[in-house]
Chains A and B, each alone.
Chain A
Amino acid sequence: MAFDSIDRRRFLLLAAAPLLAAQKAATPHARESMLQMNGYAVNAETPLAVLTDYMTPNELFFVRSHWIPRTPDPKKWSLTIDGEVERPAQLTLSDLKKLPRAEATCVLQCAGNGRGLYAPTVPGVQWRYGAVGNARWGGVRVRDVLDRAGVKASAKHLHVFGSDDPPGKVPPFQRSIEMEKVLADGILAFSMNGEPLPVVHGAPLRLIVPGWAGDHWMKWLVRLSPQAESQKGFYMETAYRYPLTVGAPGVAFKPEEMSPVTELFVKSNITTAPKKAKAGHAYEIRGFAFSGAPDIAKVEMSDDDGATWTDATLDARHDPYAWRLWSHRWTPSRAGKARICARATDSIGHVQPREAAWNQSGYLHNSWHFVDVEVTA
């Protein structure tokens, strides 16, 4: 079960190599840092105060690893297409790059982002706010790749496989996605924000599923297999499942009372707010909002525990399933402790709840984000 130190060194070296190109476009973020949640397997979230750009810089983008990955050798890598297809294939990266290019600017959020905010507490990486980012993912459409292979009508689920074999008897991280979703929106990405996809983010190829949680965004892709039935195994049948009905906090559901985590829940966070303020003075509050729906309709702000709300201003930049940056000019009216919070509504009417529904694995946390500000006269 043990990994030796060479595995760790190798991973760090592999992680560093693509940065040769990425650094050219890096945004300077003086004294900013990643918050390491686990040294190995590497898991790190981005501090909220850093998430103020429409595009999250590659090197500051949160990192999620189930275990120390066994990343593919790019020179030997190919993508296998098999299963319910007329023409199984092995595609190299250059094969893929001959297909029409596709890009999507959209949010990637770990299903467990915010797990550390749930009470009662649940096991797992105790993510708080920063296992989320927005990037421009470039590659080719899943539809274009599968069309070449000739998907049979019997195929209803795309089984996706990465290269990172787990240690010991740990079950493999294997997933499947409904064909309808992945054919409509799925991208096989080899670039991120215009640079080669970094190894820590899944190079040479990663699946992009706009609007859905990160558990579907398979890294280090090696095989796509359309099948009649959904994937089996621990990471489909036990983990990454969300209750079908809302239960009381602390009450666990059986796997059959849950379904796989798919669409993101509507959510906003505050990235910029003063710690101290003077009554009667104006301050700019900023943040981001996103959802499993294609767009955000509005973001509102409150400084009286949600009794009254004022519309924030949405940034003009938006893409389907990307986040919307927002800002609000806030003038505290009186001295004392102010609790400001934001609430997002998406384009199909979902409203961010005051309290996220507790679930036993701590997925999809989306409670209102409160920030305390000390206001003086």
Chain B
Amino acid sequence: MKRGIVLVLALVLSVGAAPKKHAYDQTLPVLGTKFHSLPAGTGRQLVEASCLPCHSPDILVQQRLTEKQWTATVDKMIRWGAVLKETDKPATIAYLSKNFGVTNNFTPTKTRPVGY
């Protein structure tokens, strides 16, 4: 707890002392605080439950992969600890392939640096 208070204080001090805070557009979100959303559709809840504990949606929505590539990726993530029932795999892969296929477009979120 004490460490947490020290860290919060450090953040407050660092922001408060920023002499060039105006240099960054204050309407932009701070890096790491705003994420893309996943499009609606069958399989979205499965993806949210199995992928988002470790990844923000950003890493998913920028991919441009074939169904074969998504299948390999999902299998790799299951080997690495993602929680996904075997019976839920087809719907998960279908959702990812449909929404984030090879013609997918992605625009990174413009952010301002942490502390600025």
Contact = CB atoms under 8 A, between A and B. Distances in A.
Interface of A: 1-3, 8, 10-17, 19-20, 23-24, 26, 28-45, 59-60, 63, 67-68, 73, 116, 120-123, 125-126, 167-171, 200
A60 B11 CA distance: 18
Given A121-B64, A170-B80, A36 B54 contact: no
B44 interface: no
A17 B14 contact: yes
Nearest to B104: A121
Contacts of B32: 8, 11-12, 15, 36, 39-40, 42
Interface string B13-31: 1110111100111001011
B19 to A, nearest CB: 6
Interface in B50-72: 53-59, 62-65, 69
Given A126-B63, A170-B81, A16 B54 contact: no
A200 B115 CA distance: 12
B114 interface: yes
A38 B58 CA distance: 5
Contacts, number: 160
B54 to A, nearest CB: 5
A59 B106 CA distance: 24
A2 B7 contact: no
A40 B33 CA distance: 9
A30 B112 CA distance: 11
Given A16-B15, A123-B63, A126-B106, A33 B83 contact: no
Contacts of A169: 79-81
Tell me whether chain B's interface is mostly helix, strand or loop, or mixed.
Answer: loop
Nearest to B34: A39
A59 B113 contact: yes
Given A16-B11, A17-B10, A35-B108, 17 more contacts: A3-B53, A16-B14, A16-B114, A19-B113, A20-B13, A23-B14, A23-B18, A23-B19, A32-B23, A37-B58, A37-B62, A38-B58, A40-B32, A40-B56, A122-B69, A123-B63, A126-B106
Nearest to A60: B113
Given A23-B115, A39-B56, A168 B35 contact: no
B8 interface: yes
User: Can you list the 8 inter-chain pairs with the closest CB atoms, starting with the nearest?
Assistant: A168-B81, A39-B56, A2-B53, A35-B108, A19-B115, A59-B113, A28-B23, A39-B35
B102 interface: yes
B82 interface: yes
B1 to A, nearest CB: 12
Given A39-B32, A123-B63, A26 B23 contact: yes
A332 to B, nearest CB: 30
B98 interface: no
Interface string B94-116: 00000000100010111111111
Nearest to B62: A126
A212 B64 CA distance: 28
12 contacts: A3-B53, A16-B11, A23-B17, A26-B19, A26-B116, A34-B113, A36-B31, A37-B58, A39-B58, A68-B54, A125-B62, A170-B81
A126 B54 contact: no
Nearest to A200: B114
B17 A20 contact: yes
A5 B48 CA distance: 15
Contact of B65 (A10, A12, A44, A121): A121
Contacts of B17: 20, 23
Contacts of B15: 16
Contacts of B33: 12, 39
